[in-house]
Structures are given as C-alpha cells and as structure tokens.
Structure 1
Amino acid sequence: MKTIRLLILSTGLFIHACAHDNSTPVPEAATIAVTTDSITRGDYTLVFINQSPTFDKQVKERMINTFFTVYPVLANAYNPNTLKKVTFVIDPAYTGVAATSGGRVVYNPEWFRQHPGDIDVVTHEVMHIVQAYPGGAGPGWLTEGIADYVRYRYGVDNAGAGWAMPDYNPSQRYDNSYRITARFLVWLEKNVNDKLVKTLDANMRAKTYSAGIWQAQTGKTLEDLWQDYASRPTL
C-alpha cells in the first residue's frame, strides 16, 4: 500500500481600513492533514484520501477491506464493465452520510465517529458505482432501492450496524425508496421472479427501463404487485 502524506496550508487575509495601523493581528495558518493511500488487489484499485486527522484507523481498514470484499462480487454479479479504480474521500466538510459521483465516494467522518459499525455504507455506495446509470435512466427511488437491496444481500456486517429492513406497514409505498423499496424487491424475488433485480438493474443501465417492465417480467403491474405484497408481506 502506497501512502502519500501532504500538508495543505490555508491562510486568511485581513485588510484593515487604516493602512498605517501595524497592530492588525495576522491569523495563524490553518493546517489540514491529508493522506492518500493507493491499494491494489487483483483487478481493482482503491485510492483512499483522508482529510480528517482524527479519523479512526480501524474504521479506515474496515472500509478498505469491505471495498475489496464486496466490489468485485458486485461487479461480477451486475456489471463486469464497472470501473476498476475507485476513490474514497473522508471529508470533514461534507455533512451528509455519503455521496457517490462517478468513481468517487465522499464520506462524512463524523457519521463514522458516531456510527463506527455502519461499515456497509460502503456496500451501498459502491453499488452506485456499479449501477452507472445514465441521466434519465429511471426513477430515483428504484436506484436507491436496488442499492439497499444489495446492502441487504451482500453487506458484510449489517447486524453490527443495527441495520435491517423495516417491517411492512400500510403507510408505506413502493416508491418510498431505500429500505422500504429494498424489502419489496426481496419479496418479489422470493415470490415472483428471482432474477428481477438484475433485470431491472441492466435495463436502468441501458436506459431501456419503462413502467411496462414490471408487467413484462412478472405478469402484473407495479401497483398490483404492491397490493400482493401488502396482503402477505412476510419474507
């Protein structure tokens, strides 16, 4: 593993209204520690950029190991043409949980400080890289539902994070996204079509998804499938 350590100096500039006043305080330089690790295992490379000097080293190692455990499996199962090089960024300025764009995933270190066991955030996010859906490929609720379905199926330690899919309740809809949609997909594969998610995923990536795909793959509309699920939601 190759590690590069950088120090980025950020200085502030104060302009005083009186040019002859030499007492204006000069701020101390703010130092941001950045480490960059490049790790290659087999066909895949992970570049890990850490901008948080207090980020837990054990969490970092678990993130790296989770990537190399899960990503090749997802590539093989869903998209063999997925990117071979991925970048993780630990960014203290980011206030969400995690976000993926192209082959780059940004993580909030504060989230992992509060939830160090939530390692399968990695599984969810790298599935977005594998998905590689073009703009306008299909509904966002399905994109996120598939990513959480994958977390459920392939996650390395969902139990350790206290992460589980919610039980069905009548207030839910199939397009609630994330875990609610994921549970619906699990039920559909168990009871209707065991290859449905791979078919949906491939059509989203090819930008051939339409509402009619549910009828074509299951013999029923999406609304009818949800009603069937609601009537007997046990997995």
Structure 2
Amino acid sequence: MGNLCNFLSFFLLLAAPQGLSAVKYIVTNTVPNQPGGQRFDKEIGVPYTLQNMDIINKFIWNIFEQPTNADTKTVPVLNVYISDFIDATAYTNGDNINVSAPIIQSYPPEPDRAKFTFTGIMYHEMTHIFQWSGIGTAPGGLTEGIADYVMVKSKFYDPNSYTRPGAGNRWDEGHGVTERFLEYCDSLRKGFTVALNKKMRYVYNDNYFFELLGKPLDQVWREYKVKYGNVPVSQSKLPHTKY
C-alpha cells in the first residue's frame, strides 16, 4: 500500500454479538513518513488494528457483562489516530484513541513484541472508551486501574515487570497499583470490579465498596496492605498512558 493510501482513513463495520449495535472502527496513520508511523505500517498495520478492535470491543463487553445496548455506552464510531506526540504513550478524547508514533518507534525491537505491546495498550485505551466513570465523578486513578484490569485479563501485558500485589500508597494511584487492589477486592467478592463498574454508570461514591464488600473503603485498603506486607510502590515497566 502506497504512502498516499496511508494518509487515508480505513474503516471496518463489524457485527456485534448478542444483538448489540455495531461499532464502526476507523484507523488513521497521520504520520506515515515518520519512523514511528512507518514502523506501525510495517509491523502492526491497519488491518491488524481493525480486526483486533472488534475482538477487544467484544472482550470488554463480555468482561463488563454488558449483553445489550441498554447496558453499554453508545459509541457509533471509534477512531484510532497514529500521531506525532511524545508526552504520553496513548490517550483518549471523546470516542477517539490517540497513539504516539514516536513511542511506537521505541517499542521492543522484535516485531511480535511490538505488536504485543500495541495490543495491550489498545485493551487499556478501548476500556476507557466503554467503561463507566460516574460521568466524570470517579477518581481518575480508579478508571485507570479498571482499564489496566481489563488489560491484565486479556493477558496482553508482561507479568514479570508489572506492579506487584500490595504496592502503592493510595488505593486510587491508578494503573498497576489500583489494578492489583481491584484483584484483591475480586477475591473478597467474585465479580466485584464488574459490579463496581456497573454502579458507576451515573455517579461514583466511595460507599460502593461498603455496599459490595460490607466494609468501608479505607478498611479494605488497610487490610489489603497488611496482607501483602505493605509492599513499597513498584512502578510498572509498561509504557504509561495519559487519560
């Protein structure tokens, strides 16, 4: 495919399961002549991204137990832009995902590892598109933790470099710290994270932890830290995302 075609948007309309409305996926490489954009085209590509967006979307709906349109966010079109910025690995705005081309260039040198890294980032970022956030009232660290939670469930992450259980100073630090805390909450009540996401459709409240676990949030966090020996903060080696 020539450079001229790389400037164009490519889209795929894929059928959603169980009667859910289909989402149109569009991927645009805005920097096909830059090294990161060239690497995206060579080692990842638009067809792979489109195919996996559908797989990821269905995975998220399944994780969140959202079988009908009434359960899900309305997202008619989801755009992915490969763009020139360096202050984040990726970020969302509206129903758009922006991925850093310069950071794609810095992915692991092996093509398979680069594709693996990109896919993990897509699981995280697409979760931001479809998760509930209490219409903006949920702590940003919680929404980041839930996005990582879905990524970890997908297995597209490196368990050897990921945050250890018990790490962190606050439950809502985000990313791996919050993800590991959510896993602990799941161990106290099966499906806790899914139930918490459902409760956050219109508003967030710390009392949801008490409603779901029978204990106040602060107590749950203290008991979690005690269980794992108050492990110091362990920063994930995976690329950070901006939300």
- If the length of structure 1 is used for normalisation, what is the TM-score? 0.76
More helix by percentage: 2
Partner residue, 2:117: 118
Residue 176 of structure 2: which of 179, 183, 190 is its match?
179
Q: Are 2:210 and 1:205 equivalent residues in the alignment?
A: no
Specify the structure having the higher radius of gyration (Cα). Answer: 1
Q: Which runs of 5+ in 1 are unaligned?
A: 8-32
Partner residue, 1:146: 146
User: Cα distance, 1:221 vs. partner?
Assistant: 1.0
- If the length of structure 2 is used for normalisation, what is the TM-score? 0.73
CA distance in 2 between counterparts of 1:86 and 1:195 reads 27
Partner residue, 1:97: 89
CA distance in 2 between counterparts of 1:38 and 1:5 reads 17
CA distance in 2 between counterparts of 1:110 and 1:88 reads 16
Distance 1:118 1:47, change over 3 A: same
Report the count of equivalent residues: 202
Distance 1:106 1:137, change over 3 A: same
| Shift >6 Å, 4+ stretches | none
CA distance in 1 between counterparts of 2:139 and 2:198 reads 14
More strand by percentage: 1
User: Cα distance, 1:180 vs. partner?
Assistant: 0.3
Partner residue, 2:217: 222
Q: Deviation string for 1:19-63 (max 9, x for gaps)?
A: xxxxxxxxxxxxxx6231112222332100111212422223443
Distance 1:69 1:224, change over 3 A: same
Aligned 1:54-203 pairs, distance under 5 A: 54-57=38-41, 58-60=43-45, 61-78=47-64, 79=66, 80=69, 81-82=72-73, 83-93=75-85, 95-115=87-107, 116=114, 117-119=116-118, 120-133=120-133, 135-155=135-155, 157-159=156-158, 164-169=162-167, 172-190=169-187, 192-203=188-199
The answer to whether the 8 A contact 1:66-1:123 is kept is no
Counterpart of 2:181, as a letter, is F
Q: Are 2:26 and 1:47 equivalent residues in the alignment?
A: yes
User: Cα distance, 1:107 vs. partner?
Assistant: 0.6
The answer to whether the 8 A contact 2:172-2:178 is kept is yes
User: Cα distance, 1:102 vs. partner?
Assistant: 1.9
Calculate the aligned-residue CA RMSD, in Å. 2.6
Distance 1:206 1:181, change over 3 A: same
Q: Which runs of 5+ in 2 are unaligned?
A: 16-21, 33-37, 108-113, 230-243
Partner residue, 1:35: 8
Higher RCO structure, 1 or 2 (CA under 8 Å, sep 6+): 2
Q: Deviation string for 1:180-231 (max 9, x for gaps)?
A: 00001011102x1112111211222222x21111111111111111121112
